Structure 1
């Protein structure tokens, strides 16, 4: 149960932060945000606030922010169509009733002659059975009512495509960017409250019944030399111990205001085809809010670099698709991490956040990076690629991503159960 709750909270945080980036920039740049969704598929919770419908959906595979104009608008009034209109005190249309007009006794039923709900916001019409042409001004926030469900119209000035290339770029980039921000915040919290690894060879926890415990080592001891050779810090200490499995070494230890020597023989640990020496100590940590700030940026950079290197190896064939993990594999590893403690879970969440940011910036159709490519092509060509062609590319890309998701999920299941 703890793992399920942890996974839901982790997933919800990663998706919420990503989509919030898209959402807040869309709002700030004047775009109409129709829906803010966590998950896909049928709704299990929804609430309408202002212009936006906020939903939680049943499939935990991501989320989305639906901005007007990213998909074809559903509003299409045709000449000869009978509709109902509800007007406000200024005689502007606030509701356009498409069907079930009998349920709106205050609606004025008319026959459409022509209409523009994108730019000029008007409807020219006549009353049923009459020839006189009537001109109706449509409010910018008017609703299109179908099956008693209201959908706000989106004048072109509120649509994604109407905004400058810079604003559209920022709206798409904001999602992945917020994942990098979340990663830095999480690493700051880890550094400020759990601690930052010290550079010197200072011991943290000494595990019971280990070579270090038998040698009398204690937390906060500093190893200053091995076999009478001075060492520079933790990395060198760890490397020397790892290279000497089963071999006795002499440690020079500084404890408070005195120094002494002790012998320790590292246990032999098998890591793939290598034998690694271990003595059972954890790295020393220090808590510092000031040091946590650069630490957060350093760790975000380190994880970003690691992920990019691994992606490069995947592209060049050094990694195979069989080595990738999907939701099932992530859940399984989350289960393992949760058992090791809260701060390790925080680090795992930070790593997944930066991973999500980088993956979404890849120039692949249906991802934010793929959509950014189309804005770049528009800048080069001097005009946008048609919405139909771009939509087709993203649809094919999304289908391929779903196929990849199925493959990696199957691989996860095979690794876990077969």
Structure 2
């Protein structure tokens, strides 16, 4: 099977369209926040582009050239006073107006606005999802399906049963599974790694039922399966409760996101092209969106939520060239009592930009390499 045949097998036209829409909206709102905070402080914005590369459409409005560019891989705003100004002798000189004349807090507000917009969009999407579908209950495991002729069916488990206690103990909010912190409902998996007599206490249509069974994890060296598909139970939530839960989920996601990006940087430095399920490139993202489009609109909302969270956290990383790196330089200048020299700042930002570009190339190459 050729590369293009392999690509067509995992991507769908609808998935590609949804991918462009989700990324396009996330990028537009990110750059719009930068634009709004700059204009609010009286700083001109020369151009606003959705997409990169050659411009395919442009229109002048309110002193800004609004562009749609050919490559749907990002966007930018050209804020007056952020880039060096050409001198009369052709040599670049430090900017003396616009963004450059803002106080430190004003610069940070402009830079922070983009990632914060993506974060708030993710929070809003999560809040909408939790309000409509309910909030996951970490201490209750709902059985979604039971495999025919499986040990679970012989035990008497049914789809819709909610496991509330294991071996006479209520399922806790959090547990440790295989050395990592996890929601309590994942303790079902941990229980099935231990041989012996076990008791599942289930809530079945409001009635409590105890199901006792003997369990052997492996037989003749083969792992045994109980035969259930399960996940966290879902409880109805009001809008305020859904909003609070969204912030909690976001806070819990921070260590996982940081770990994922740390793994990406490690693979980049060692040129490890093996697939990483935690970080996807453009093809991997389009593949995930294609799969979500086949499932339900809510699956697409979940992908959009994760994408906006990833954009927010990635842009806040203290890497020169990214919003987080620029914020760091502003803070360093404030702590020193004077900003870095023009040459120093340009060199740092150039090095950071080169690193980010190489990282993007690496992600794309790794994304494509799995088809060969």
- Give the superposed CA RMSD: 3.5
1:41 and 1:58 in contact (8 A); partners too: yes
TM-superposed CA distance for 1:8, in Å, is 0.7
Alignment correspondent of 1:394 = 349
TM-superposed CA distance for 1:207, in Å, is 5.0
Matches within 5 A, 1:85-104: none
* 1:57 maps onto 2:69 in alignment: yes
Which residue of the other structure, out of 116, 124, 130, is the alignment partner of 1:191? 130
Alignment correspondent of 2:209 = 260
Whole-Å separation in 2 of the counterparts to 1:267 and 1:194: 36
TM-superposed CA distance for 1:358, in Å, is 1.8
Per-residue CA deviations over 1:17-58 (Å, capped at 9, x if unaligned) read 221221111111111011111111112222222111221211
SS at match of 2:340: coil
* 1:307 maps onto 2:229 in alignment: no
| Structure 2 spans left out of the alignment, 5+ residues | 1-12, 174-182
Whole-Å separation in 2 of the counterparts to 1:224 and 1:240: 10
Per-residue CA deviations over 1:233-278 (Å, capped at 9, x if unaligned) read 5855542344426978543333345333446789989xxx987755
Per-residue CA deviations over 1:301-328 (Å, capped at 9, x if unaligned) read 1222211233345567799553454222
Alignment correspondent of 1:240 = 188
Alignment correspondent of 1:170 = 109
TM-superposed CA distance for 1:168, in Å, is 0.7
Relative distance call for 1:188 and 1:68 in structure 2 (3 A) is same
| Greater mean deviation of Cα atoms: 305-314 or 240-249 | 240-249
Count of paired positions: 336
Alignment correspondent of 2:80 = 68
TM-superposed CA distance for 1:66, in Å, is 0.7
Whole-Å separation in 1 of the counterparts to 2:100 and 2:229: 59
2:139 and 2:184 in contact (8 A); partners too: no
1:243 and 1:276 in contact (8 A); partners too: no
Larger RCO of the pair (alpha carbons < 8 Å, separation 6+): 2
* 1:292 maps onto 2:242 in alignment: yes
| Greater mean deviation of Cα atoms: 303-312 or 361-370 | 303-312
1:338 and 1:344 in contact (8 A); partners too: yes
Relative distance call for 1:275 and 1:383 in structure 2 (3 A) is farther
Per-residue CA deviations over 1:162-191 (Å, capped at 9, x if unaligned) read 111110111111111212212211211121
Alignment correspondent of 1:38 = 50
Whole-Å separation in 2 of the counterparts to 1:276 and 1:204: 14
Whole-Å separation in 2 of the counterparts to 1:396 and 1:199: 44
Higher-helix-fraction structure: 2
| Structure 1 spans left out of the alignment, 5+ residues | 79-154
| Greater mean deviation of Cα atoms: 361-370 or 237-246 | 237-246
SS at match of 2:303: helix
Relative distance call for 1:377 and 1:204 in structure 2 (3 A) is same
Relative distance call for 1:349 and 1:277 in structure 2 (3 A) is farther
Relative distance call for 1:315 and 1:326 in structure 2 (3 A) is closer
TM-score, length of structure 1 as denominator length: 0.69
Which residue of the other structure, out of 228, 243, 267, is the alignment partner of 1:279? 228
